[in-house]
Structure 1
Amino acid sequence: MALFDLPLEQLETYLPELPEPVDFDEFWAKTLAEQRAHELAARFEPVPNGLATIDTYDVTFHGYGGHPIRGWLQLPAARSGPLPAVVEYLGYGSGRGVPHEKRLWADAGYAHLVMDTRGQGAETPDPDPASGDVAAPGFLTRGILDPYRHFYRRLYTDAVRAVEVVRGHPAVDPGRVAVAGTSQGGGIALAAAGLVPDLAAVLPDVPFLCHFPRATTITDKPPYVEVSQYVKLHREHAGTVPRTLAYFDAASHARRASAPALFSVGLMDHICPPSTVYAAFNHYGALGAAGADKQIHPYPFNDHEGGGPTHEVVKLGWLAERLKTAA
């Protein structure tokens, strides 16, 4: 890989116009209000995990449409008092896996909810209202002609409901909940940060789903290439596609966020190009009353792996400082 995007000094000031629909806020307010008519009905079933330091619970709750969403809740085995929590969203095509795959946050003393991704993991199906529509392989163009039928309307709603689930657990301090994720998970975390006004922190790593107009034209790597593949075949929808995606642009959601934020970016990332990440970072908190508490860590010679374990050390220290807990 090699540097292919803007130079770092230009990335640091890159503030593109975001083509937001005029009813962006109304769309999301209506979506969440409708979905809150469904009870969360959260269930936490203890499961053996073979670990001496972490207790694991198999989680099921009602997400978009009242559909059952799966997850894991990991708690430190030795705990006292309400815990700060991290809700983690997953990368493109990933499911929740098995409990011992993700234990960093519970090992550090947090309650950790790992949300399965509808239609992408092995355990949470996606009853798709757009299943009869034509789409490119993947998820970006599912329901692409109508934002009310788009895949990410359902997934972003699940993400908000996951925050509500963890806040309702007796082991969790509802005032100290952070959201996190890598790639698709980072984009979902930004959407959740824009849709949930009182989060304690957000940690998006190499976030996907940001600044669609540039992302879909600067890289030919999947998943963004799904959009160009669709429009290449369906030229008549070249105007409709960007209008639909604008409702799900994580950079627009980032403008509405107010929680402290820690981003990471790989400057050789051809999957989530650095300019799209900086678009979200530079716009982050723009609609707030005061300057946002935000940081970004660039990794100049890294691709989509970003900072990897090195950045995990940064995240542990940063989040401990924000949530006043020992890392």
Structure 2
Amino acid sequence: MSDIAPIPLAKLRKGGVVPAHPLALTAGRELDERRQRALSRYYLDAGAAGLAVGVHTTQFAIREAGLFRPVLELAAGEAARHGSEPFLIAGAMGPTAQAVDETETARALGYHAVLLSLAGRDAMDEDALIAHCRAVAGVMPVVGFYLQRAVGGQHLPAGFWRRFAGIENVLAIKMAPFNRYQTLDVIEAVVAARAEDRVTLYTGNDDHIVADLLTEVRIKRDGVEVPVRIRGGLLGHWAVWTRRAVELLDEIHDRPGGRSVTDWLALDALTTRANAVLFDAANDFAGCIAALHEVLRRQGLLEGTWCLDPDESMGPGQMERLDRLLAEHPELTDDAFVATHRDRWLTG
């Protein structure tokens, strides 16, 4: 990790908003480079600490479509031009050879780490999974990823996470099992591995975003209490209304004394309700990407909601739920911020 520049590394360590970057397409389902750049500019101007590209929200099918490298290049170019030195994370997945190849591509393009998905690796035992992770970590720093089972993840026991956290080049872990027990398994494993100062924890639990960020977990090790916090979020949810997410996390980092416990819990519940709409929980998450596109379309950042898969669209009733959410809670949006800057982001 010594080759990561101090500013992006410090941003990751402090904890920040890291949007999972969507894919901008034309009506012909080809890459819309102008709008793809505009999205990166939006996130960076909104104050995001980093960008995660080539992940689920970017659509895994970019690999088969030959867009993996071009999409990573566009985001890296905008990050370099922005001057804020964001932390860049690229998705890596598949069998070991594929994951290593994608990691080498990310490193060559100036990314700082890869978010390593273990989806589809169910047939591998724990030793094989750790060897797989070590192979990728041998190329560049790794962000672990505990993905919920409903969308292709697998149960990964505390023993796996303790061994994973012990890999020297593991930089952070995104916890997204949508399960409190399994989230705590990861936190306890990091403490057991004595890696709490090296491995920064990020939430991907879209059903518990605010509470994850507020909670300090206290784990006893050798009779001494070790306090651990989830520092930031790497979230598809934060691919929309990003300015509001930055303001929220800043308030939490500044200590949440301005709100009562009741108010914070109410905000956690509202955020979860909003995520249920965006991620189409009613239809087993089928419309999650298209709904994010719809929000960005309404803001004028995307031209349409097209996905690489022509059959991928918002789920039954999801549009109506989104309309109702926006009508009842306009405070969730950053529409005014986007309207102020959108034309500049779309220029060039």
Asked if Structure 1 and Structure 2 have the same fold, meaning a TM-score greater than 0.5 normalized by the shorter chain, the answer is no
TM-score by length of 2: 0.31
Structure that is richer in strand per residue: 1
TM-score by length of 1: 0.32
Structure that is richer in helix per residue: 2
